[in-house]
Amino acid sequence: MVKSYFGYEESLNILGVIASGESNIVYDSSGRYVIAAALEKIHVWHMRQGLCSKTLSPKTPYSSSTRLVTSLASSPSSLIASGYADGSIRIWDIEKGTCETTLNGHKSAVSALRYNKLGSLIASGSKDTDIILWDVVGEAGLFRLRGHRDQVTDLVFLDSGKKLVSSSKDKFLRVWDLETQHCMQIVSGHHSEIWSIDADLEERYLVAGSADPELRFYTIKHDSADVHSNISNNQADVNKKDTSEGSKWDVLKFFGEIQRQTKHRVATVKFNKSGNLLACQVVGKMVEMFSVLDENESKRKAKRRINRRKEKKASKMDAQTTENGSIKTATEEDGKIFEITVSDVFKILQTLRASEKVSSFSFSPVTSKNSLATVALSLTTNLLEFYSIESSSATKLSAIELQGNRSVVRSVSLSSDNTLLLSTNHNAIKIWNPSTGSCLRTVDSDFGLCSLFVPGNKYAIVGTKSGKLELVDVRSGTCIEVVEAHGNEIQSVVLTPDGNGFITGGADHDVKFWEFGYVKKSSQDLKHFTVSPVDSMKMNDAVLAIAVSPNGKHIAVALADGTVKVYYMDSHKFFLSLYGHKLPVSCLDISTDGDLLVSGSYDKNLKIWGLDFGDCHKSIFAHAASVRAVKFVRNTHYVFSVGNDSLVKYWDADKFELLLTLDGHHDKVCCLAISNRGDFLVTGSFDRSIRRWDRTAEPFFIEEEREKRLEEMFESDIENLFEDKSMPKEEIPEEGAVGLAGKTTQETLSGTDSIIEALDMADAEIKRLAEHEEDKLKGKLAHFHPNILMLGLSPSDFVLRAISNVQTNDLELTLLALPFSDALKLLSHLKDWATIPDKVELVGRVATLLLQLHHNQLVSTVAARPVLTSLKEIIPARVKECKDTLGFNLAAMDHLKQLMALRSDAPFRDAKSKLLEIRSQIAQRAVEAGQDIKEKKRRKKKQKKVDGTHVWS
C-alpha cells in the first residue's frame, strides 16, 4: 500500500515584518492608512492607532519567493496596485480587502507603478525594460512600449493622461504619446542612472533625480494653452525661447539644476499633493525638503535678485565699464517682466534626518492646519516613522516599531506548552504569541545566537555572541542576570532530559553543563533565579551544535572540523566519532527513540546516522546552499531542515525521501523550532520574518508532490518554450516600438486548451443533433441523450462558457494560440452570442482579435466568407445598439444634472473645475493687487521727486 503523509502549509501570519525594504510605501486616498509591503503580503497600517487593520494576501497557492512585492501605487479611489517580483500586478480594494484583478505582462520584477489622475489607467515599468499601459476598468493590457535599454525606474502621466514620461537606468528620459503610441522625445543630460521623477499637480515642472550631485528640472509644454491658464506669461516666453533651440514637438524643456546637500544618490523625488513642497530622499538617513514658490513669489524673488545684481555691478562700475549688457534678463521697462530661474522657484527649506537609513517615504494627501505636510518614512530597520513638516523644523509624530524585528532572526524557541515563542536578533529579545502573531514583550539584549525556555516557562536563557548567558524573566520582560559563560560566542544551548539543567557549547572549544537554582539574597526575602556551572568538556575544535538523546544516554557534539563526536551522558566518556562531512557541521538532532542522528553541514548535505554502530545510513544532497538547522518531529523519523537557499524541506529519514518543499522565505533561513505535538513549526530568516507552518488535515502522496514540482518547473520555464534561441534577438529602434501587453503563462495555455476542447465537444454535439434530426425524418423515434459533460448547455452556450472563463487580461494571448481551424469554428458561434446584450462587448473583442490575427487566411478561405458576411450584418448593428443605449443613459444623466441645477440655488458644477476657477480668480486678484501697490509706489516716488527729495528704490 502506498504510504500517505500529512502536509504543512504556511499560516496567514508573518511575525516581525512591518515594512520590507524592497518596495515603497504609499498613503491611501483618505490619508488615514499607510500601505506597506511585508515581503509578499501587504499591510494596511492605521496611522494614528499604530495597528495593522488589514493584511492583503492572495488566497490562491503560489510560490512566495517569486511573489515578493516590489512596487505600490495608490489610486484616487479605494484601489491600490501592487507589483511583484514575477512581473505580475494585482489591484486591491482596501475597503473590501479583496483582490479585484491580476494582470500578467512583465517578464521580471515590476519596478515602477503609476495611476493617472482619474485612476482609470495604470502604467507599469519593469526590470525587463518594458512599459505596459493597463486599462483598470477593462482589466486588460492596452499595449507595451519598448525603447529603454535598462530597468525602468519611474513613470509620470502628463497632459490629462495623454502623455507618459519614463525614466531608466540607461540615463535617459523618454516622453511617450499614448494616443499615437510612439516616443516623441528622448531627453539626455544625466551622467548617471536616473532613479526617480515627478511632476507637480499643475504640471508646470518635472524634476529628475539621479546619482549626480544636482537635481535637474524641466518645464512642461502642453498641447493647449488654456489647460493651465495659471502659467505665467514669463514662463511662456521662456518656453518660446527654448523652442527655437530644440524641436517644436518637445514636451520637456531644460529649466535648470539645483545642487543637493548630500553626496548619496537620489532614491525618490516627490511633490506633495498641494504642490508647495518637493522632497528628495537619498540613500541614507536624510530627506531634503524644498519649498515651491508660486508665480508671484517667483517673480518677486527674480526681481530682487536682478536688482541686487544691478546694485552690485553699479558699485563696481567705473566710467568705461561695458559689462551691463552681459546681464541676461528678460526685463522690459514698461511691463517689468523678469526671467525666472530654477532658484527663484525652488528653495531649500530644511533637511529631515531619520533615526536610521530611509528606505521609502510618502506624503500624506491630508495636511493638518499647523504644518505644511505630513510624511511617512519606511526605514531599512523595519519600522515606520511619521513626521510633521513645518516651515523651520520637522517634528516626529509617532512610530510603528514594536511589532517588527530590527535585524535578522538568529534563533527561535517554543515553550513547553507551545503558547509562547521567543526570538533573538542583534539587539533585542522578543516574546510572541505564535497563534495570533502579536508581540508580547521586547527585551533589550546583546547579540543572541541561541535560546531556550526554562521548564515552567517563567524564565528563558539566551546565549550571546560575546559568550554570556542572559537570564530573562518572561512575565516581566526583563533581563534579571548576565552570566559569564564562555570566552567566545555561544553557538548552542540545549536542555538536559531531566529538565534540571542545560548544556552550552561555544567557539572556545568548551562544552559546559549547568544546573538551575534559586538563591535567596540577604536583603530580600524573594528567591532569585540563577544558574551555576556543574561540569565541562574540552573539544578539539569550535563547538557549533549540541544534541542530547531524549533517553539521556548520549550527547552529540558537532565540531568545526567536520566531525560529530558522541559521548556518554553520565560519564562523559567517548562513544563514537562520525566522519563524512567535508565542511563544518552546523546542526544536528537525535530522534525521540534514540536510534537515528541527523546532521547538516555547510557542504549542503544531510547525513542520517545510526547511533548503535555509528554507520551512515544515507547522505542526501539536501539544499542548494548551507544547511543551517535540522529537527526531528517528536516520536517520528520525519525531519525538517532549513538552509541558506531560503527553503524549508520535509524528509522521511527511513525512506530517505523528500516529502515537501516549503517555499516562503525570501532570504537565508537560519533557525527552526517544532511544537511538541508536531502540529506546527516556526522558522526564522534573514528577511526579518518569523513564519509559522501548520500541519494540514488532508494527506498527500510522494508521487503527487513530484508531479507538482515538475509542473512548477515547466511553468517557471514556460516563456523559454516559445523562444527560438537560434534566432537573433530583436533589435529595438532608438525611437521605440510597440508590442502586445500580455505574456504567455500557464493560465493562457490552459485557457486555449479549454476553448479547443469546448469547440471539439460542441462540434461533436452538433453532429449528433443533426443525425438525430435525420433519424426523426426517417421515422426512427429514438430519444436523444445530450452529452453529460456539457452540463445541460447548448453547444454554443458551452463554448461561450469556456470563453467567459478566460480572464480579460489573458484573452488576447489565449486566442493567439488557437489554430486557424478552431478560430474559424469560434467565429461561427459569434452570431449566436451577439443576441445576448451582456456579451456584445466580448463578441466584438473576440471578432476583432481573430480578424487581426488571421486576416490573410480568412480572406483566402472560401469557407470563411459566409461566416464573415453574417458577422458583418449582425455585429455592427448590435454594437450600434449598445452605443445608443450608452448615449441615451449619458443624455439622461445630463438632463438630471440640469434639473438638479434648476431646483437648487447654487449652480451644479464639477468640484474640480470650480476649484480651478477659484484659484485663477485668486491669482488674478493677487496680480491686480501687486500692480496697484506698484502704481502707488510709483506715484509716491514721483511726488517726492517733485518736492525735491530723491529716493533710491
Q: Under a CB-based contact definition with an 8 Å cutoff, are residues 632 and 592 in contact?
A: yes
Tens of pLDDT, residue by residue over 635-689, are 999 999 999 999 999 999 999 999 999 988 999 999 999 999 999 999 999 999 9
For the chain, give the longest Cα–Cα distance.
127
Tens of pLDDT, residue by residue over 544-553, are 999 999 988 9
pLDDT at res. 852 = 87
When pLDDT is cut at 50, 70 and 90, the band that residue 952 belongs to is very low
Position 103: which residue type? Answer: L
Q: Give the span between the Cα atoms of 433 and 439, in whole angstroms.
A: 7
pLDDT at res. 226 = 41
pLDDT at res. 235 = 47
R_g of the chain, CA atoms, integer Å: 36
Using CA atoms, how far residue 914 sits from 230, 819, 928, in Å, is: 14, 55, 21
Lowest model confidence (mean pLDDT) among 14-28, 45-59, 184-198:
45-59
Q: Give the span between the Cα atoms of 84 and 130, in whole angstroms.
A: 15
- Measured in degrees and rounded to the nearest 5, phi and psi for residue 202 equal -85, 0
pLDDT at res. 329 = 36
Lowest model confidence (mean pLDDT) among 240-249, 335-344, 454-463, 635-644:
240-249
Q: Under a CB-based contact definition with an 8 Å cutoff, are residues 409 and 392 in contact?
A: no
Q: Give the span between the Cα atoms of 730 and 848, in whole angstroms.
A: 27
Q: Kindly report the average pLDDT of the chain as a whole number.
A: 85
Other Cβ atoms closer than 10 A to 141: 25
- Residue given cell 444634472 in the structure block: 897
Tens of pLDDT, residue by residue over 846-865, are 998 888 888 888 888 888 88
In angstroms, how far is the first alpha carbon of the chain from the final one?
103
pLDDT at res. 156 = 95
Q: Under a CB-based contact definition with an 8 Å cutoff, are residues 104 and 145 in contact?
A: no
* Grid coordinates of 872: 458583418
Res 237 pLDDT > 50: no
Position 54: which residue type? Answer: K
Q: Report the pLDDT averaged over residues 141-153.
A: 92
Res 153 pLDDT > 90: yes
Res 922 pLDDT > 80: no
Res 907 pLDDT > 80: no
Q: Could you write out the DSSP letters of every residue in 785-817?
A: ---GGGTT--HHHHHHHHHHTS-GGGHHHHHHT
pLDDT at res. 786 = 85
- With residue 887 as reference, give the H or E element that holds it: helix 864-903
Per cent of the chain over pLDDT 90 is 47
When pLDDT is cut at 50, 70 and 90, the band that residue 175 belongs to is very high
Spatial strand order of the sheet with 98-104 comes to 69-74, 79-84, 88-93, 98-104
Using CA atoms, how far residue 193 sits from 54, 208, 289, 361, in Å, is: 36, 10, 22, 20
Q: Could you write out the DSSP letters of every residue in 487-505?
A: SS-EEEEEE-TTSSEEEEE
pLDDT at res. 901 = 79
When pLDDT is cut at 50, 70 and 90, the band that residue 195 belongs to is very high
Name the β-bridge partners of 482.
Answer: 470
Res 750 pLDDT > 90: no
Question: Which has more confidence, 548 or 712?
Answer: 548
When pLDDT is cut at 50, 70 and 90, the band that residue 785 belongs to is confident
3-state secondary structure 218-244: EEECCCCCCCCCCCCHHHHHHHHHHHH
Top mean pLDDT of 345-349, 409-413, 813-817 is at 409-413
pLDDT at res. 929 = 63
The model carries a pTM of 0.81
3-state helix, strand, coil in the chain (%, to 5): 25, 40, 35
The packing angle between helices 795-804 and 840-853, to 10°, is: 80
Q: Could you write out the DSSP letters of every residue in 574-638?
A: EEEEE---SS-EEEEEE-TTSSEEEEEETTSEEEEEETTT--EEEEEE--SS-EEEEEEPTTSSE
Q: Under a CB-based contact definition with an 8 Å cutoff, are residues 736 and 142 in contact?
A: no
Question: Which has more confidence, 395 or 307?
Answer: 395
When pLDDT is cut at 50, 70 and 90, the band that residue 231 belongs to is very low
pLDDT at res. 327 = 36
For β-strands 690-701 and 173-177, DSSP reports them as unpaired
* Grid coordinates of 467: 559568550
Res 743 pLDDT > 70: yes
Res 289 pLDDT > 80: yes
Res 448 pLDDT > 70: yes
Res 333 pLDDT > 70: no
Top mean pLDDT of 422-431, 724-733, 765-774 is at 422-431
Res 525 pLDDT > 90: no
Of 164, 99, 97, whose CA–CA distance to 125 is shortest?
164
* Grid coordinates of 231: 502659467
